[in-house]
Amino acid sequence: MADAHPTLAEQFDDLPQQRNAALLGMWTFLATEVLFFGGLFLSYTIYRHAYYEAFEEAGRHVKILYGSINTALLLTSSLTMSLAIHSAQVGQQRLLVRFLRLTIFLGICFLVVKGMEYKSDIDEHFVPGARFEHGLPAQAQIFWFLYWIMTGVHSLHLLVGIGLLVVITWMARKGRFSEHYNNPVVISGLYWHFVDVIWVWLYALFYLVNRN
Amino acid sequence: MTSPEIKIIPRNTYLLVWGVLMFLLLLNFGLAEIRLGPFNLVVSLAVAFIQTLLMLLYLMHARYDSGLTRLFVIVGFVWLLIMFDLVLSDYLTRGGVPSTLRDSWKHGAWPAATNNFPAGFSTNGR
Amino acid sequence: MNATLPQTTTPEIPDPPQRLLTYFEEGGHTLGSWLLTTDHKRIGILYLYSILVFFTIAAFAAAMMRMELLTPTGDLVTSETYNKLFTMHGTMMVWFFLIPSIPSVLGNFLVPLMLGARDLAFPRLNLLSWYLFNFGGLLALYAIAFGGVDTGWTFYEPYSSAFSNGHVVTMVAGVFVAGFSSILTGLNFIVSIHKLRAPGLTWFKLPLFLWSTYATSIILVLATPVLAMTLILVAAERIWGIGIFDPRLGGDPVLFQHLFWFYSHPAVYIMILPGMGVVSEVITCFARKPIFGYHFVAFSSIAIALVGFFVWGHHMFVSSQSVYAGLVFSLLSYLVAVPSAIKVFNWTMTLHRGRIHFDTPMLYALAFIGLFVIGGLTGLFLAALGFDVQAHGTYFVVAHFHYIMVGGMVTAFLGGLHYWWPKITGRLYPENLGRLSALIIFGGFNVTFFPQFVVGYLGMPRRYHAYAPEFQIFNVFSTAGTSILGIGYLLPLIYLIWSLKHGKKAPANPWKATGLEWQTPSPPPKQNFAQTPIVTQRPYQYSPEIEEEFIHG
């Protein structure tokens, strides 16, 4: 233990053990995230089954252009995140920082587009409540309630992801990572990809399936 | 406890996966504009499923991970299935016992299950 | 170290001259050394302080309720205050005492020791989860102090969002935050048990406490997030004034119950599985016999955790849930009885022809088995659809789950606390007082809760501050039992604190027990072991035939 690697925490014997523990920890956390969103996906399923027509009518008012642009942005950010991990694994410090920054940038772009979409939703009174008047059935408000909660919680996750990557970028600039030690990059990458996976489903459920 | 050397996936794999993901996005976008009836739902969800699979397997390296990690990848989704399954077992059988069914023991008839669940929603199920 | 009981081939424990610094001494005694510690043993003790505070508050609420119920008329508190009291009692006991009791206190202390590890996999995360827990607890206390909550611990919709006047949002936020603390603790345990086992410590050499902790962690990790999201929906609906459980929009309040019980029924097993783990350790040590059917006991923990996820609908038999779903849930609920019964039979067989020593931990363990059997069997009554329609919402249910939660979990917690007290503090507690208080608690508990089975069967509904006069005799028994129980809980508090200064110094292994935690000094050094142990034998290699008469202390 005396000649242990400086990045090895005292409770671990060697770097692979530490790496495996970190990976397993993140996957466990992602399993909790699946169930965290799970209750909402379940609610969506039940209410869409019950109020099929109302959901269809409500779904026509969601702005598909914003949603599609955002999907493309997130998918691309997943690519840059993967490339960042690759750079860390082969020890290319500058490329790592560059890809991380690109990922953060794409994440911010997503939030900006989402913000614009939210603004137009508010302007057109698609917020459930007293001012929700569109001649839509009452159950359409359930659709919009789920829309706000689910995309809102997702955006919050993305915000956390951006915060995480800012810290990782800062660490990368300090030269903390090498081909031997890059757990934090890999772990944050898993989280980032997962937020992306959630969005793919949100995109399908809110923007696509109710269009016809 | 130690694992073999971490597999480094070549950049081209990532680029290829990204290409496929973007293609699927366009496909999904395009198909949503076409009237396919109930198949719109099927197609959209199938595409989302494939995209999820690609991201889990390649971008998140589940394909290259140990069996234990793969188990942890799956377990969250299995539990989601449990939740869906048992909750839907309630909603899809709502509406209570039809009167014909209640008397069925008398004449041995077992009528087809009725599924009037949207109506049963607000009427306390009975 | 006892030569006849070698579980491991550890290097010898250093003798007093080259004594290692204990975890109390190393790092110092300053407040900062405790509040910023990442040592799992210290964090375990921090949790002990926290849950003691929450337990006291919840117990106070219980005492007030029992006082009110002494007479049939509502004369001590108004019905509104009474609603707030039982909500306070339920939320505090469930989320801020029972769920963290054994996992976070004993689990934190013991998991790395039993694994032969230096710490948990993520020590800083562990400290964070203690802070989250306290933050959540403070939010809940704030809600109680400034207005209270009257929804019951279940926050049923639409009452909680549309009608309740209490601080529901603050309370819900407190539970939400505490939930994240649970998730992080469970995650830490799962990863540690997978990745930090000492060389040679294979899964089937693990102590049964670790098996049950692992099963508990599965539930913590997979159920809690659903509760978190459900609580967000309740808070959103309350703030927004509109939401997906709102019947005015076509929403279904029963969906809330589904989501809530998807968490809360498995959470019931969070509140019993760790107790089963403690009892498995204690029974085999004080019967001086290897556990009967190790594999069955181990797998039954996992089975309870899994099957526990399939049965939540039995809380909803009288909601508007479909009768077919009720039927399925009723049948599935019976399944849980199988692994639970396996455990009880195995403990009993372990006692059979053992050399039984009635020390305090053993008394608690035996009490646990008896009370758990009553609580479990009455659970089967309630799992029967037809009977539940009658008994739902009566004191029969209250008695049933208190036999599990208090008779089971609290008893096991006290047993475990006594069993590992020498290891945690390095001091022995006074044995006679320990036995006395165990007996007082057992007696007081039964006087309190057994009459509630009867009065519930006769039809007294729960959650009312007044009741029909013919039920009074049972309630008088209950209230009298509560005061006995109160004395039983106060005694250990007093003599355990006393023993910190005046108790006899504990040897490394006062019970001549097997298990890695006993192979290091009491209290252990910060690094737990002088050298990483290598495990070569299965656990619980006790042999009553060879052993000398066992005298503790």
Q: Which residue of C has its CA nearest to B95?
A: C322
The answer to whether residues C466 and C71 touch, using CB atoms and an 8 Å cutoff, is no
- pLDDT at C17 exceeding the cut of 60: no
pLDDT of residue A137: 86
pTM: 0.92
Give the confidence band of B36 by pLDDT, cuts at 50, 70, 90: confident
C503-525, pLDDT tens digit by residue?
999 999 999 999 999 999 989 99
Predicted pLDDT of residue C553:
36
Tell me: the pLDDT tens digits for B59-93?
999 888 888 999 999 999 999 999 999 999 999 88
Q: Which residues make Cβ contacts (< 8 Å) with residue A99, sequence separation at least 6?
A: A80, A81, A83, A84, A87
What percent of chain B lies above the pLDDT cut of 90?
50
* Binary contact (B87, A46; C-beta < 8 A): yes
Beta-carbon separation of A47 and C244 below 8 A: yes
In tens, the pLDDT along C295-337 reads 999 999 999 999 999 999 999 999 888 888 999 999 999 999 9
Chain A: closest CA distance from residue C237 (Å)? 10
Hey, of C127, C190, C191, which one would you mutate to test binding to chain A, going by the most A CBs within 10 A of its CB? C191
Kindly provide the b/e burial profile for residues C68-82, where b requires at least 16 CB atoms within 10 angstroms of the residue's own CB. bbebeebeebeeebb
Residue C546 is predicted with a pLDDT of: 54
User: What radius of gyration, in Å, describes the C-alpha atoms of chain A?
Assistant: 21
A116-122, long-range: CB < 8 A, 24+ apart: A116/A66, A117/A63, A117/A66, A117/A67, A117/A70, A120/A63, A121/A63
Q: At C246, is the pLDDT very low, low, confident or very high (cuts 50, 70, 90)?
A: confident
For A83-113, write each residue's pLDDT tens digit: 999 999 999 999 999 999 999 999 999 999 9
Does B104 have pLDDT greater than 90?
Answer: no
How high is the pLDDT of residue C547? 57
Q: For residue B100, what pLDDT band results from cuts at 50, 70 and 90?
A: low
ipTM for the predicted complex? 0.93
Mean pLDDT within C269-290: 95
Rounded Cα distance, A169 and B82, in Å: 39
Residue A211 has a pLDDT of: 80
Looking at the predicted structure, is the pLDDT value of residue B117 above 50? no
CB contact under 8 A, A82 and B59: yes
Q: Output the CA–CA distances (angstroms, integers) from residue C237 to A122, B20, C243, C340, C475, in the order listed.
A: 18, 40, 5, 39, 38
> What secondary structure letter does DSSP report for C535?
B
Verify whether the Cβ–Cβ distance A78 to B44 is below 8 Å: no
**Considering only CB atoms, which chain B residues are within 8 Å of C321?**
90, 125
CB contact under 8 A, A149 and C194: no
Model confidence over C464-493: pLDDT tens digits? 999 999 999 999 999 999 999 999 999 999
Please give the Cα distance from C523 to C534 (Å, whole number): 21
